[in-house]
């Protein structure tokens, strides 16, 4: 363990949480953060409120410059989906020949983007199940189900040595680690969940409990799941036959007050992962000739807010 060097790129709810539990478990962790969050982490450590108990941990290194960390065995990439290409270029100093990068973004495109930028030999496919957010600079709050990470090699091969090092480290840190036989199916199952919950919650401006207990809104969520399933099957993704009812049952098990990160960002007027989550399903559906009318509605309803958050002004002039 003492010889393992890990980096976490991004100190939001996901990156901050995984960096904190890995450091608490005794691993050397370099964290790439920025702004007031970085100042607070350097001054007071990472403070975590967790369903498993509250704790504060000091990291081996916290910086906004990856070059100060240098080569590591593995990197957890925990930036937002639209930041992946830029982060890939910035993390080159973290790579040695065997380094593996695990992307944990929502959506299904991050691994391909990393492979294009860094090479397949450095890239894993991954996803996480975690409800966690930054509540103040340097302070993380985690609630809900047991934190889980699933990972695999892009070609479905057995885990490479450094990928196994990362998987073992996460497991030792108390994270549930899965290595699915079909990581692409697992990734699309996560998209089926997050696109439906994020899209419905953002359009309805409602928490998970309100979504599932309002019959018409629950039906909207269910229809979004079915459309993601249809697109996935058209892409030859081998989803389980019961993926929709099983995912809906999982939604029913979540804390009633919970919301998805995309929904929270849209509500706060911040740039969100709308394009990576909802927009991706629309794009894939269009390219495959698979109708996604409900997802198109959600996308069209939320896109003006996304444009506003990103400073995209396309008001035009409408004349009768």
- The predicted model scores a pTM of 0.92
For 83, other C-beta atoms within 10 Å of its C-beta total 18
- Given a cut of 70, whether residue 61 has pLDDT beyond it is yes
**What is the pLDDT averaged over residues 158-166?**
96
Whole-Å CA distances, 210 to 215, 246, 303 = 10, 19, 23
| Residue located via tokens 């929502």 | 106
**What is the pLDDT averaged over residues 263-286?**
97
Q: Is residue 316 part of a domain?
A: no
**What is the pLDDT averaged over residues 55-83?**
97
Structure tokens, 320: 């009768």
**What is the pLDDT averaged over residues 33-60?**
94
Are 23 and 140 found together in one domain? yes
**What is the pLDDT averaged over residues 185-193?**
97
Percent of the chain beyond pLDDT 90?
A: 90
- Given a cut of 70, whether residue 314 has pLDDT beyond it is no
In this predicted structure, what is the pLDDT of residue 258?
87
CA distance 123 to 163: 9
Q: Is residue 72 part of a domain?
A: yes
pLDDT band at 177; cut points 50, 70, 90: very high
- Given a cut of 70, whether residue 2 has pLDDT beyond it is no
Whether 192 contacts 243, CB under 8 Å:
yes
Are 149 and 191 found together in one domain? no
**Residue 127 host element (H or E):** strand 125-136
CA distance 241 to 66: 43
Are 73 and 153 found together in one domain? yes
- The domain of 109 spans 5-179
- The residue among 135, 155, 179 that closes a domain is 179
**Mean pLDDT score across all residues of the chain:** 95
pLDDT band at 131; cut points 50, 70, 90: confident
**What is the pLDDT averaged over residues 277-292?**
98
Q: Is residue 191 part of a domain?
A: yes
In this predicted structure, what is the pLDDT of residue 319?
44
- Given a cut of 80, whether residue 317 has pLDDT beyond it is no
pLDDT band at 320; cut points 50, 70, 90: very low
Write the DSSP symbol of residue 239. Answer: -
Instruction: Provide the β-strand partners of residue 74.
Output: 6, 100
CA distance 228 to 260: 17
**What is the pLDDT averaged over residues 293-315?**
92
- The residue among 149, 179, 209 that closes a domain is 179
Are 165 and 204 found together in one domain? no
- Given a cut of 60, whether residue 6 has pLDDT beyond it is yes
- Given a cut of 60, whether residue 259 has pLDDT beyond it is yes
Nearest to 283 by CA among 266, 268, 271, 295: 295
Nearest to 292 by CA among 308, 306, 281: 281
- Distance between start and end Cα atoms, the chain: 70
Are 92 and 20 found together in one domain? yes
The number of domains in the chain is 2
Are 281 and 247 found together in one domain? yes
In this predicted structure, what is the pLDDT of residue 144?
79
pLDDT band at 315; cut points 50, 70, 90: low
pLDDT band at 81; cut points 50, 70, 90: very high
Are 201 and 107 found together in one domain? no
**CATH number of the domain enclosing 269:** 1.10.1040.10
């Amino acid at each position: 363990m003492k010889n393992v060097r890990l980096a976490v790129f991004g100190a939001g709810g996901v990156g901050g949480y995984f960096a904190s539990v890995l450091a608490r478990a005794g691993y050397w962790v370099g964290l790439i953060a920025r702004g007031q969050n970085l100042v607070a982490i350097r001054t007071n450590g990472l403070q975590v409120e967790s369903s498993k108990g509250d704790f504060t941990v000091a990291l081996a290194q916290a910086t906004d410059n990856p070059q100060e960390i240098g080569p590591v065995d593995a990197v957890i990439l925990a930036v937002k989906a639209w930041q992946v290409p830029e982060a890939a270029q910035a993390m080159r100093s973290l790579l040695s020949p065997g380094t593996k990068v695990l992307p944990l973004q929502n959506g299904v495109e991050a691994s391909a983007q990393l492979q294009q930028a860094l090479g397949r030999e450095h890239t894993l496919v991954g996803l996480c199940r975690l409800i966690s957010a930054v509540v103040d600079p340097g302070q993380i709050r985690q609630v809900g189900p047991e934190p889980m990470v699933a990972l695999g090699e892009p070609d479905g091969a057995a885990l490479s040595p450094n990928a196994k090092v990362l998987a073992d480290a996460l497991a030792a840190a108390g994270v549930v680690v899965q290595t699915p036989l079909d990581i692409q199916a697992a990734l699309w199952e996560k998209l089926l969940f997050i696109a439906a919950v994020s899209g419905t919650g953002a359009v309805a401006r409602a928490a998970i409990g309100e979504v599932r207990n309002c019959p018409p809104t629950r039906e909207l969520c269910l229809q979004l799941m079915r459309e993601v399933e249809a697109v996935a099957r058209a892409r030859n993704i081998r989803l389980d036959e019961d993926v929709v009812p099983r995912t809906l049952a999982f939604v029913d098990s979540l804390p009633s007050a919970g919301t998805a990160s995309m929904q929270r960002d849209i509500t706060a007027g911040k740039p969100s992962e709308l394009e990576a989550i909802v927009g991706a399903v629309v794009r894939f559906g269009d390219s495959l000739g698979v109708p996604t009318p409900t997802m198109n509605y959600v996308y069209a309803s939320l896109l003006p807010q996304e444009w506003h958050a990103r400073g995209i002004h396309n008001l035009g002039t409408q004349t009768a």
